[in-house]
Structure 1
Amino acid sequence: MDLLALADFTLVARYGGFGRAARASGRPKATLSRRVAELEASLDIRLIERGGRALKLTEEGRALFERTGALLTELDETVGAIASGGQTPRGRLRISAPLLFSQTAMGKLAASFALRYPEVRLDVTTDDRTVDMVEEGYDLVIRVNPAPDDSLIGRIFLRDRMVVVAHPALARPDDATSVRAIVRSSDQITSWAVTGPAGPARISVEPILRLTSLIMVRDAVRAGVGAACLPLSLASHDLAAGRLVHWADVDAPPVALWTLYPSRRLLSPRVSAFLDHLKDAFPTGTSAELAAYVEG
């Protein structure tokens, strides 16, 4: 296989067309078209559908791009690093992070990383859904308690736990009474399973507010509307200041924040640098450390 032709195909697929790839690379459009045609002929398969206004990869073309695009990028970066005599992080780093972590910590993290590594162009998007790292072009993904995935390597960098909190003026109900509650829009619940000095118990809830953001939920609890289930890191400063009171710990597995990246790729210098940056920011990885970082 002609690796140069494969690199030209990857360039065209990444930029979504021969014209855009030509403008980005400074190479003639006709040359890119000819090299892709030669690659198709050598493989005896069609990789790109011709004739439409927008470039469209065939199923085989999409599969080839997904498998080789990231590898060629890593190869190019490795050669560049060797040629420059070091492993200085540079280039674009795309990260997907969950909403709450993005709202509370990611801006500060991104800014300090950009100052530390000025040759890296950091691009952070906020998304709670499961993303396809290869298809969507992410180098690193941060997720909360992700499902196992054999195609990814992951490590935990923060741990948190959920607690039930309320305004000091709100009395905790007895076992037979429901409490007015603020919940996330996606939660369909009638009670919280909790643990306390007396052991496992349940708190019956009557949702009166449904909000999409946990920061919104926290603000509503501060206003005295009802009780809520929040990460300890998000509630700890209000608990310490007496603005909220702790009712119970939620009986659930700990909340773990993971960094994930494709296992088939060599770890690039920029990804390694960001992983080290997270370790420097959260050396012990506790909820108290996250709360202090957010408020600091």
Structure 2
Amino acid sequence: MYFLTPILVAILCILVVWVFKNADRSMEKKKGEARTRAEARPWVDEDLKDSSDLHQAEEDADEWQESEENVEHIPFSHTHYPEKEMVRRSREFYELLNKRRSVRFISNEQVPMEVIDNVIRTAGTAPSGAHTEPWTFVVVKDPDVKHKIRKIIEEEEEINYMKRMGHRWVTDLKKLRTNWIKEYLDIAPILILIFKQVHGFAANGKKKVHYYNEISVSIACGILLAALQVNNGITMRHQTAGHRHLIEGPGRSSEACSKLSSQGRPGASAAGSLFHFAIEFAAP
């Protein structure tokens, strides 16, 4: 009996070591799979997260500006339309926006800059977190700059198609006859880059928190698309995965390019095969 005891102890030790090694391998495998998923889809974090730097603001409180406690409120003016007028205006607005399509065949016919200025002003009326208005609109007309932007977008899109989006997503896109080649970015007379401001700066140089900056910029982009449609414009919008280097310049360190929209009139070969789904209204 005493002779077998050391042997049993040795066997137990071997079993314990084996169990722990298998557990470590399992944990490493799970971590590796998680890292692979994160690396394969970085656009999820880049596009969907809100970069408000709240935790950093708490850590470096001296670098951040406190919000103003007293903000002047002014009377709100409002036009009260009769019921029939409201119905007419809502119907006309729907019928106009229902014609909006994402068009990849854009004419090089010039668009008046006054129109672009006005639609950007319209986009700037969007609501935003704590009224911080965390957006910058950059209008690009220079052919060389447009071509540089096209190359950056195409490189990123090719990676999306080949690695990030997956077989199902790529298959679903086949009916749209689209790929990573974006020739219209060169042809369109105007590109509008929309930057989200991760944070702002007060007059004293301290940082200001921009709450819900990604959502706020997305709402502004929606209003921009509606304003362009009202003005007979054709658009094609892109996610840009937060590229800061699309446009270089002072003050860009706190900004990331969130959206890109190509503007113009439809080309001669423009075509579309998609219809908007009818919205189903549930009975109260």
TM-score (norm 1): 0.21
Task: Kindly indicate which of the two structures has a greater share of residues assigned to strand.
Answer: 1
Specify the structure having the higher radius of gyration (Cα): 2
Q: Which has the higher helix share?
A: 2
Of structures 1 and 2, the one with the larger relative CO (CA 8 A, separation 6+) is 2
Q: TM (normalized to structure 2)?
A: 0.22
